[in-house]
């Protein structure tokens, strides 16, 4: 399907690897110019070179630490004409309430929760003046399938779900759309880290993490490309009546009930 995104400009955070990189690739394949954001310049440059080699679009890198609100405001100053904002940066650590101390909890939320909010604040204001723009927040299904062993992530994701729905309900009055995606398990480095922690807790051996993928729908995690395809669709005018909605892509995990 041609998503008719040619000539639009997208800014993708967490774009150097995993879901963010796959989203940047998907948008570039549809003809979007892309701005890649993450903390590590070298990783961004590798992603830029790969996308440039495959697609005839403009690719810009912008190293930034989005745990600092000034970085979000700086991106908005440097790239004010963004049509599509993909919030994807941040990885909240696994652990129980006893295991996640306040400084670690705050550090993770500064990047993911407040990082998303800060970029939404900056770009919503800019998009509103043009009455055009889409914001896609990559959140995570732990916000709806709550897990006390991932308590900082579940709580943060639930907050971002509420934020996305509230802002998305208001956005059409300004000619904008705000939507969310809740990925379940996705084959990324972050998933491996979480599964190693879970394998240590459940099995007493972090090295047995791959055994836990057998419990997943279809016996595997999703691929980053499967998530990216939905992000590109939601960002396009093919989904022009979608706002305040969160799409869950977890193979049905959120609806799996066990006794």
DSSP state letters, 30-86: TT-EEEEE-S-HHHHHHHHHHHHHH-SS-EEE----TTSHHHHHHHHHH-TT-SEEE
Contact 9, 83 (CB under 8 A): yes
Tell me the mean pLDDT in the region 70-95. 95
Q: Residue 224 belongs to what H/E stretch?
A: helix 224-235
Phi, psi of 59 (to 5 degrees): -130, 120
Let me know the angle formed at the C-alpha of 252 by 246 and 256, rounded to the nearest 5 degrees: 120
Q: Does residue 254 lie in a domain region? A: no
Q: Which region holds residue 134: left if phi is over 0, alpha if psi is between -120 and 50, else beta?
A: beta
Q: Does residue 72 lie in a domain region? A: yes
Residue 256 pLDDT more than 80?
Answer: no
Q: Does residue 21 lie in a domain region? A: yes
Q: Does residue 113 lie in a domain region? A: no
**Residues 86-140 pLDDT 10s:** 999 988 888 999 999 999 999 999 999 999 999 999 999 999 999 999 999 999 9
Residue 259 pLDDT more than 50?
Answer: no
| Interatomic CA distance for residues 217 and 185, integer angstroms | 9
pLDDT at 142: 86
Q: Does residue 231 lie in a domain region? A: yes
Q: How many structural domains are present in the chain? A: 1
**Residues 137-190 pLDDT 10s:** 999 998 988 889 899 999 999 999 999 999 999 999 999 999 999 999 998 887
Q: Does residue 91 lie in a domain region? A: yes
- CATH number of the domain at 152, please: 3.40.50.720
For residue 41, the enclosing domain spans 9-104+125-186+222-249
Residue 44 pLDDT more than 80?
Answer: yes
Q: Does residue 240 lie in a domain region? A: yes
Residue 257's pLDDT band (cuts 50, 70, 90): low
> CA dist 58 to 14, 30, 35, 45, 213, Å?
18, 12, 8, 13, 38
| Interatomic CA distance for residues 139 and 156, integer angstroms | 9
Residue 258's pLDDT band (cuts 50, 70, 90): low
Q: Does residue 41 lie in a domain region? A: yes
- Tokens for 84? 């599509």
| Interatomic CA distance for residues 85 and 78, integer angstroms | 14
Residue 224 pLDDT more than 70?
Answer: yes
Average pLDDT value over all residues in the chain: 94
């Amino acid at each position: 399907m041609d998503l008719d995104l040619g000539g639009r400009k997208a800014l993708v955070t967490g774009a150097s690897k995993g879901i963010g990189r796959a989203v940047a690739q998907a948008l570039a394949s549809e003809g979007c110019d892309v701005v890649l954001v993450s903390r590590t310049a070298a990783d961004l440059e590798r992603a830029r070179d790969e996308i440039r080699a495959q697609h005839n679009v403009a690719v810009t890198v912008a190293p930034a630490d989005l745990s600092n609100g000034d970085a979000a405001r700086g991106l908005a100053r440097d790239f004010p004409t963004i049509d599509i904002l993909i919030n994807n940066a941040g990885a909240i650590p696994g652990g129980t309430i006893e295991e996640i101390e306040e400084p670690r909890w705050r550090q993770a939320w500064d990047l993911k929760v407040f990082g998303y909010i800060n970029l939404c604040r900056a770009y919503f204001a800019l998009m509103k003046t043009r009455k055009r723009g889409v914001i896609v927040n990559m959140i995570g299904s732990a916000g709806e399938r709550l897990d006390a062993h991932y308590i900082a992530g579940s709580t943060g994701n639930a907050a971002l779900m509420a934020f996305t729905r509230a802002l998305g309900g208001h956005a059409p009055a300004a000619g904008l759309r705000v939507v969310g995606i809740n990925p379940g398990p996705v084959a990324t480095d972050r998933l491996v880290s979480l599964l190693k922690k879970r394998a240590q807790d459940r099995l007493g051996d972090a090295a047995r993490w791959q055994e836990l993928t057998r419990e997943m729908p279809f016996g595997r995690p999703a691929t980053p490309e499967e998530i990216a395809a939905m992000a590109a669709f939601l960002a396009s005018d093919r989904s022009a009546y979608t706002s305040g909605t969160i799409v869950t892509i977890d193979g049905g995990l959120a609806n799996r009930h066990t006794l």
